[in-house]
Structure 1
Amino acid sequence: MSRPSPEHRPPPDADERRAVRPVVCYPVDALAPPDLDSYRAARLGWERVAAVTVPPRDARSFTVPAGCFFRIVSVEGPQVGDLNLWSADDLGERFFSGKTRALHGTHVTTGHRLWSSLPFLRPLATITDDTLDWYGFDEDGGGVHDVIGTRCDPYTHRLLTGGTYHHCCHSNLTRALAAQTGLPPAQAKRHVHDVLNVFMCTGFTRDTHQYFMKASPVRPGDYLEFFAEVDLLGALSACPGGDCSAEHSSDVARCYPLLIEVYRPKAPPAGWVSPARNSYAAPDA
């Protein structure tokens, strides 16, 4: 359903109201930028200590100790992935896509951080390399690695189509988290949250401002690399939409596996300290 036509006439000062200049809600000038040179120097001589293959239309969990790196790698064909992250010590602290979007914009790339939920609000991971950073934003307004979408789920699929599909990213992530933690699926699914859509190319249509997807530019060998700021538990779903050029929540698209690689550096980045939880204290705490 597109945006309905207005039912009310514009006021005399409509053009003046629309001409008001926007103000960035959360200016980040006060945030210290990550020292990418230090992070990258720490990669020299690193050792790959784990590798997890995520099968098509499925998900797998993984862990990354604080001070280590991990990569999500395209290995066989164009495939997008839905990423969830939690503090390994507390599932209540998880990736906060909305605040990450508010701080860094609709799509993330090298130098951006993935922030955790309230009341913790600290960096869980820092993006240290992105082989798709060349893409930028295309003429449709599309970009790669978005934090504007949710994750495909069976509930929305049922709402819009009346159908049943068990390999939506929400379901895949639920099963992966349940397998990792031993939680019953009914409890695990409550910890699954809005994702980083890795490799996915998305934006908003210019006329109705609806969320769209288009074929991902990812190719085998491309990767998105992160530095774990805290001990992490992650789960990644290889989306049933494949490269998301047509549809998801079905078995129609051609899908490929994704690879997660974990690397341990010989020493942490110079001067690096794992970030503490947010220091705000509520007056009634």
Structure 2
Amino acid sequence: MKLAKGEMPEPSDAEARRAIRPVICYPVDSLVPPDLASYRAAREGWEKVGEVVVPPRDARTFEVPAGSFFRIVSVEGPQVGDLDLWAADNINERFFSGKTRALHGTHLSTGDRLWSCLPYLRPMATITQDTLNWYGFDQYGGSVHDVIGTRCDPYTHKLLSGQDYHHCCHSNLTRALAERMKRPLAEVEPAVHDVLNVFMCTGFTRDTGQYFMKASPVRPGDFLEFFAEIDLLGALSACPGGDCSTEHSSDAAACHPLLVEIYRPEAPPVGWTSPERNAYRGGHGA
């Protein structure tokens, strides 16, 4: 077969090279796993101390003290949410989706942790219950609660469609954070970052390797529950894609609200302490 200009021929040992076994980049055997039994025991007698309703195609912020729990709940119909987290007293410390993906995989569930960015790199929250953990990975390689996508944004939408749309998750989160911080939109926008795509069902196509989405399996009453390892400021956007079965970044999809519930336990989990920032002190070999 004639090769296109610039295309390289397959080497004679191509199959042998493809057959090399992979190596896990970041083995996590040295990490102390969360004591889920202790976390779950702490829920006994807990008190619901707050809730926030996130309207469709919009976002809201919320705060969770260290040692408390919060849930993101489906309340009316299938709906995907984009979750951002920051340290409550320092928005420079924020959720690091890339390192979380490297440590736990492309999709998160019970027992996985959401890690903060460098130079802090510590657990921000631990997933303590997931009512969609039955889904696993489907025949297309899809699963729920991904950390592989970013968040729908008006810049990519403009690039691909030529149109302006103001209720992408990036814009929703920016408005919510600006309102919470009482600061201009342009000032807080750089603090809005890659998200945990709650309830979203996603994967990569096996032929082209493209990021795909499909109808979320979430039902009213389903929830994703977290334990706050540090004092948290959160923001959640109810994605304009609804269940993300067709498209996002438009008003075409049916959308529903999401609910954030915050619970305070009578006592913290046995043996639990809020994690300190990462012990590396930044010499960088200088």
TM-score (norm: length of structure 2): 0.97
Could you tell me how far 1:6 is from its partner in structure 2?
A: 8.1
CA distance in 1, matches of 2:6, 2:12: 16
Could you tell me how far 1:12 is from its partner in structure 2?
A: 1.4
Q: What is the aligned partner in structure 2 of residue 194 from structure 1?
A: 194
**1:210-243 CA-partner distances (Å, limit 9, x unpaired):** 0000000000000000000000000000000000
Aligned pairs, how many?
282
CA distance in 2, matches of 1:187, 1:91: 12
**2:57 partner letter:** R
**1:79-135 CA-partner distances (Å, limit 9, x unpaired):** 000000000011000000000000000000000000000000000000000000000
Q: What is the aligned partner in structure 1 of residue 283 from structure 2?
A: 283
Q: What is the aligned partner in structure 2 of residue 89 from structure 1?
A: 89
CA distance in 2, matches of 1:14, 1:282: 42
Q: What is the aligned partner in structure 1 of residue 123 from structure 2?
A: 123
CA distance in 2, matches of 1:91, 1:193: 11
Name the SS of the counterpart of 1:84 in structure 2. Answer: strand
Q: What is the aligned partner in structure 1 of residue 270 from structure 2?
A: 270
CA distance in 2, matches of 1:92, 1:119: 10
Q: What is the aligned partner in structure 1 of residue 58 from structure 2?
A: 58
CA distance in 1, matches of 2:278, 2:161: 42
CA distance in 1, matches of 2:95, 2:14: 39
**1:158-183 CA-partner distances (Å, limit 9, x unpaired):** 00000010000000000000111112
CA distance in 2, matches of 1:11, 1:5: 17
Name the SS of the counterpart of 2:129 in structure 1. Answer: strand
1:30-179 correspondence to structure 2 within 5 Å:
30-179=30-179
CA distance in 1, matches of 2:281, 2:231: 23
CA distance in 1, matches of 2:140, 2:101: 19
Q: 1:5 to 1:38 in 2, by over 3 A?
A: farther
Unaligned residue ranges in structure 2 (runs of 5+): none
RMSD over aligned Cα atoms: 1.2
Could you tell me how far 1:5 is from its partner in structure 2?
A: 10
CA distance in 1, matches of 2:267, 2:87: 22
Identical amino acids, percent of aligned pairs: 75
- Is structure 2 residue 34 aligned with structure 1 residue 23? no
CA distance in 1, matches of 2:5, 2:166: 37
**2:185 partner letter:** P
**1:16 partner letter:** A
Could you tell me how far 1:16 is from its partner in structure 2?
A: 1.4
**2:133 partner letter:** D
Could you tell me how far 1:282 is from its partner in structure 2?
A: 2.3
CA distance in 2, matches of 1:13, 1:134: 41
Q: 1:83 to 1:15 in 2, by over 3 A?
A: same
**2:95 partner letter:** F
Return structure 1 stretches of 4+ with deviation > 2 angstroms.
Answer: 282-285
Q: What is the aligned partner in structure 1 of residue 252 from structure 2?
A: 252
Q: What is the aligned partner in structure 2 of residue 210 from structure 1?
A: 210
Q: Is the deviation greater in 131-140 or in 5-14?
A: 5-14
Name the SS of the counterpart of 2:166 in structure 1. Answer: coil
CA distance in 2, matches of 1:114, 1:201: 18
CA distance in 1, matches of 2:129, 2:218: 14
CA distance in 2, matches of 1:57, 1:281: 41
CA distance in 2, matches of 1:134, 1:5: 48
CA distance in 2, matches of 1:147, 1:203: 10
Q: 1:242 to 1:40 in 2, by over 3 A?
A: same
CA distance in 2, matches of 1:282, 1:62: 32
Q: What is the aligned partner in structure 2 of residue 240 from structure 1?
A: 240
